[in-house]
Amino acid sequence: MAIVLIVTAFALLIMALVLFLRGRKDAPQGTPLPNGRGIMLLTFAGLIFALASQLPFFQS
């Protein structure tokens, strides 16, 4: 189960990175990213999954 959480967390963090880089490239200088809230939520969810995978409950 821990492996599934780690792979899911990795996928979410990669998606957040791609959205960040794409939004940063397309946005004019000095303007906020158009999908900043989504990037923040994906990053938060990825970090929560990564930390949850380390709980003793998921270790086998």
Digit-coded pLDDT (tens) for 2-53: 899 999 999 999 999 999 999 888 778 878 888 889 999 999 999 999 999 9
Q: Please state, in angstroms and rounded to a whole number, the distance separating the CA atoms of residues 2 and 13.
A: 16
Is 19 within 8 Å of 36 (Cβ atoms)?
no
Predicted confidence at residue 14, as pLDDT, reads 97
Is 45 within 8 Å of 1 (Cβ atoms)?
no
Predicted confidence at residue 15, as pLDDT, reads 96
Predicted confidence at residue 54, as pLDDT, reads 92
Nearest to 33 by CA among 14, 20, 52, 48: 20
Burial class (CB in 10 A: 0-12, 13-18, 19+), 35: middle
- What's the pTM? 0.84
